Amino acid sequence: MKTCRLIYRSIAKPEVLNADALSRLANRAASANRQLGICGILAVSDGRFLQVLEGQSKFINSVYAKIIKDKQHYDVELISFESVVSTEFHDWNMKIFTLDDIEEHIREHLLKKYPFVDNKIQFIDDAVLMNSLLIDIKHLYS
């Protein structure tokens, strides 16, 4: 079966944007993903989500179908969906990175490469750039 990587962005409902709600969301997602062999990370910046999901295509499709309908966020927009030979995010079944409260030297590094407004990284509709951002986040925290 094909392994694939899916990246989307969305706008978070304000009530989800607190540490407790985000960690509940990530813990539930991680345990559901573990059952299906899905890996990935969820980045949060300026009230937006950027998520990458990797795994077998039929499982990625079914989880994404649920995510689209989830009322905790809206304007879910697919950025890329591709077959991959190897996975990048196998360290985590789902881990959250909140880019608004990252260490200053990491923020400075990211601001040199990625678009920002008021010092906040923006998740844009550019598959190459967003893939690169997610991989940078992974390396900065590994």
Ligand X SMILES: Cc1cc2nc3c(=O)[nH]c(=O)nc-3n(C[C@H](O)[C@H](O)[C@H](O)COP(=O)(O)O)c2cc1C
Tell how strand 95-98 and strand 73-83 pair up.
unpaired
The residue within the footprint of ligand X, chosen from 67, 79, 102, 130 (CB under 6 A), is 67
What H or E segment, with its residue span, contains residue 72? Answer: none
82-to-11, 16, 56, 89 alpha-carbon distances in Å: 23, 29, 11, 15
Q: Which is nearer to ligand X, 24 or 113 (CB)?
A: 24
Out of 3, 56, 61, 72, point to the residue binding ligand X (CB under 6 A): 72
Tell me the closest approach of the beta carbon of residue 40 to ligand X, in angstroms.
6
Phi, psi (rounded to 5 degrees) for 92: -135, 135
**One-letter identity of residue 38:** I
Instruction: Fill in the DSSP letter of residue 100.
Output: G
Considering the complex, what minimum distance in angstroms separates the CB of residue 14 from ligand X? Answer: 13
Stretch that binds ligand X, among 28-36, 101-109, 112-120, 123-131 (CB under 6 A): 28-36
**Minimum distance, C-beta of residue 59 to ligand X, in the bound complex (Å):** 9
Both tokens assigned to 37: 């062999």
x-or-dash string of contact with ligand X, 89-108, rule CB under 6 A: -----x--------------
Residues that bind ligand X (CB under 6 A): 25, 29, 32-33, 42, 49, 51, 53, 63, 66-67, 70, 72-73, 94
